[in-house]
Amino acid sequence: MGRKLSITAIFFLLLISVAVSAVENYPYKSDYLWYAVPDHSDWLYKTGETAYIDVMFLKYGIPQNGMIEYEIADDILSPDVYGKAELKNGKVRIKVGTSAKPGFRDVRMKLKLDGTTYRHHVKIGFSPERILPYTSLPSDFNDWWQENLKENGMLPLSYTKELCTSLCTDLVDCYLIKLKTDKSHYMYGYLMCPKNMKKGCHPVVLSPPGAGIKAIRDPRSRNYYPENGCIRFVVEIHGINPNAPEEVYNDIRSAFDGRVKGYLYQGLDSREHYYMKHVYLGLVKCIDLLTSLPEWDGKNVVTLGGSQGGGLALAVAGLDKRVTHCVINHPALSDMARGKIGEASGYPHPSEKEGLLTDNHVKTMAYYDAVNFARNISAKTFMTWGFNDNTCPPTTSFAVWNILKCDKEKLVTPINEHWTSDTTNRLQLDWILKNLR
């Protein structure tokens, strides 16, 4: 940490990286490019240490002159520093300053050029290894969940299974599953199976979804799981048949105030009535289904997800000791009440909705927060996240990472916003296969 590169070297390296691959921070087929590189190669500093960012701006590959207006803020919060920096031959260095407390500072830049405003941002961390969750563990957390699991476990395993010939390939069979998850709820999912499975030979992977009320995206998108011997269950959580027309999804979204995350605010007055209670219990029922398959190898159970799916993967791993491996990207549902202390709150960012972050709601959220399930995880865990993410901010990802006491590995990718690359996605399967029991 702390190694400095010349602006020329940085420029050269970045040109190579952009030529090789595009990243979502930059618009596809754009005429312009921002480069913003902290003077510490890992983008991390100690509290009290002064940080600088070397900035470049090119249009048509040509360095530009102009005045950058910037503001600096704590992670996803309102700015508290404003300034200007003049680009000369496309280059300028911005003094970010420091932070007295562990966390992240976000440098948000804009440049007006030829009648167009261009924007970019970079977050840097200050002693993030010292970030701990704000969310506390209720004294009866484990007892309450075990009581609910015991009650739900009395429900016999019941599901239907339908071969989806249009989604099968030469190497993979696909089945649409409708699983009864409690007395009044169902979940649908696609069971992606290796062709010609053998009894007692295959690890099982549960993949809960990202946030929203939407149809399951093409379940074949990561067919390399079943192609490499894993049985993968790609599920939704709202009990909607994936074959339902889009109007059905629109109507249900409207019923939850039309917001992508509206359902995540439903029933917060009580831990018994919160919407996500049946979701967490239903995902454990999904593990019941997977471990009932005669083709399961009898040893390896994986939870895998990103964003909301990452938070849910953590929750299931914390609830169910059958889970042996947990693989997560930028987990949502993590330290959701952190806004109570004026810091970045985890998705769905309840501090953004006026009147939502009441003491009673905070009490309910503690029973569903991923950081409290993370405390219980014994499964071997792989986690990846980026710094520039404003959906699942790095503050809350570090709160999860730092509280994990299990055998764990991480891949930190500072430039990433709310995405992972295809290479990282495939790397996760490689990690699973390498670590199978």
Active site residues per annotation: 307, 389, 418
CB 73 within 8 A of CB 343: no
CB 87 within 8 A of CB 102: no
Contact partners, residue 173, CB within 8 Å, separation at least 6: 163, 192, 193, 194, 195, 226
C-alpha dist (Å) from residue 333 to 88, 102, 228, 386: 43, 21, 31, 16
**C-alpha 391: how far from its chain's center?**
8
Residue type at position 187: M
Task: Sort strands 116-126 and 103-113 into parallel, antiparallel or unpaired.
Answer: antiparallel
CB 347 within 8 A of CB 75: no
Count the residues in the chain.
437
Query: Is 335 strand, coil or helix?
Result: coil
Burial zone of 42 (CB within 10 Å; 0-12 exposed, 13-18 middle, 19+ buried): middle
Q: Which residues pair with 85 in a beta bridge?
A: 68
Which secondary-structure segment (H or E) carries 35? strand 32-38
Give, in degrees to the nearest 5, the angle at Cα 42 between 339 and 63: 100
Residue type at position 432: I
Query: Is 283 strand, coil or helix?
Result: helix
Query: Is 160 strand, coil or helix?
Result: strand
